[in-house]
């Protein structure tokens, strides 16, 4: 398969600078899947890393020039992000990075609570238990890096293994689609709350307890623990988001 590779930064325009919100785009090699999927992957990374911020415009022409690929591929990549709700279309502005809202956050957690408590009530096979324990080990390894992005990815991978207990490939794909959006909100929490600095307390203890309960076979207690864990996280992120939306003049 041929590879589309980003060219040099020669000839960059003012649009390019706006696309990256004043920060240069890293070099991108399109090698894994389609060009559109690679565009979506790279833009997702830039959004989750904060290099593209809420409200930033995604100009097809600037991205096409910068990445050295066709505008059609860029357009399709942006549409993939729209499906994942990281990008929205606004009148007279086009595609922009989505701005987190309390309503979206509430809906995400309603969805997660329904799915994950149902999964916790489902009897686990030995394979499910082993997969969950491996996911916890990966989370513990990520915690040692103190890198928010790695911790969030491992956190969501742990919960994806829980949802996999339902035995539905369609549900797992759906959960994967909301995990990216969920990661956006979790990174907000990690940046503001400095969670990576006390990740052993904030993340590992909760997930260690969840792992033990989900392994025990006590589905009733496991359900309650999952619900409590998600409810607590929801409240913390909601509080941060509401304070952020209120602005600096609010008491």
Of the three residues 97, 123, 143, the one that is the final residue of a domain is 97
Same domain, 69 and 137: no
Q: How confident is the model at residue 102 (pLDDT cuts 50, 70, 90)?
A: very high
Q: DSSP code of 32?
A: S
Same domain, 9 and 126: no
Of the three residues 97, 129, 160, the one that is the final residue of a domain is 97
pLDDT at 200: 56
Q: Please, is 22 exposed, middle or buried when counting C-beta atoms within 10 Å of its C-beta (0-12, 13-18, 19+)?
A: exposed
Residue 207: pLDDT over 60: yes
Q: How confident is the model at residue 41 (pLDDT cuts 50, 70, 90)?
A: confident
122 or 180, which is more confident: 122
Same domain, 57 and 121: no
Here the CATH number for the domain that contains residue 93 is 1.10.10.10
Same domain, 150 and 240: yes
> What are 6's strand-pairing partners?
none
Same domain, 91 and 107: no
**Does a structural domain hold residue 152?**
yes
Residue 78: domain span = 4-97
Q: DSSP code of 57?
A: B
**Contacts (Cβ under 8 Å, ≥6 apart) of 150:** 142
pLDDT at 5: 38
pLDDT at 134: 97
Q: Does pTM top 0.85 for this prediction? A: no
In the chain, the number of structural domains is 2
Same domain, 85 and 153: no
pLDDT at 187: 76
**Contacts (Cβ under 8 Å, ≥6 apart) of 111:** 178
Same domain, 204 and 170: yes
Q: Please, is 31 exposed, middle or buried when counting C-beta atoms within 10 Å of its C-beta (0-12, 13-18, 19+)?
A: exposed
Same domain, 81 and 164: no
Q: How far apart are CA 115 and CA 175, in angstroms?
A: 9
Q: How far apart are CA 5 and CA 70, in angstroms?
A: 12
pLDDT at 199: 60
Q: How far apart are CA 214 and CA 135, in angstroms?
A: 13
Residue-wise burial string across 151-173, b where 16 or more C-beta atoms lie within 10 A, e elsewhere: bbbbbbbbbbbbbbbbeeeeebe
**Does a structural domain hold residue 235?**
yes
**Does a structural domain hold residue 106?**
yes
Round the average pLDDT of the chain to a whole number and report it: 80
Residue with tokens 């990256």: 20
**Does a structural domain hold residue 251?**
no
**Does a structural domain hold residue 73?**
yes
Q: Say if residues 29 and 57 touch (Cβ distance below 8 Å).
A: no
pLDDT at 144: 87
Helix (H) or strand (E) holding 167: none
Of the three residues 97, 124, 145, the one that is the final residue of a domain is 97
Q: Which of 18-27, 96-105, 204-213 has the lowest mean pLDDT?
A: 18-27
**Contacts (Cβ under 8 Å, ≥6 apart) of 113:** 226, 227, 230, 231
**Does a structural domain hold residue 180?**
yes
- For 23-47, what is the mean pLDDT? 65
51 or 28, which is more confident: 51
Q: How confident is the model at residue 28 (pLDDT cuts 50, 70, 90)?
A: very low
Same domain, 169 and 221: yes
Residue 204: pLDDT over 90: no
């Amino acid at each position: 398969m041929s590879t589309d590779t980003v060219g040099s930064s020669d000839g960059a325009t003012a649009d390019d600078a706006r696309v990256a919100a004043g920060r240069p785009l890293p070099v991108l090699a399109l090698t894994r899947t389609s060009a559109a999927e690679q565009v979506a992957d790279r833009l997702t990374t830039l959004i989750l890393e904060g290099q593209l911020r809420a409200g930033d415009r995604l100009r097809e022409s600037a991205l096409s020039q910068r990445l050295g690929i066709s505008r059609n591929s860029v357009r399709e990549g942006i549409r993939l992000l729209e499906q994942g709700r990281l990008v929205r279309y606004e009148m007279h502005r086009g595609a922009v990075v989505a701005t987190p809202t309390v309503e979206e956050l509430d809906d995400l957690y309603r969805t997660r609570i329904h799915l994950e408590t149902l999964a916790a009530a489902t009897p686990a096979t030995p394979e499910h238990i082993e997969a969950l324990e491996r996911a916890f080990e990966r989370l513990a390894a990520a915690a040692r890096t103190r890198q928010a992005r790695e911790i969030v990815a491992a956190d969501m991978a742990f919960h994806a293994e829980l949802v996999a207990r339902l035995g539905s490939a369609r549900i797992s794909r759906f959960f994967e689609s909301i995990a990216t959006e969920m990661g956006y909100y979790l990174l907000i929490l990690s940046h503001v709350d400095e969670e990576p600095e006390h990740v052993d307390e904030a993340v590992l203890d909760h997930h260690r307890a969840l792992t033990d309960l989900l392994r025990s076979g006590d589905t009733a207690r496991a359900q309650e623990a999952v619900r409590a864990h998600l409810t607590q996280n929801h409240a913390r992120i909601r509080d941060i988001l509401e304070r952020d939306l209120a602005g600096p003049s609010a008491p």
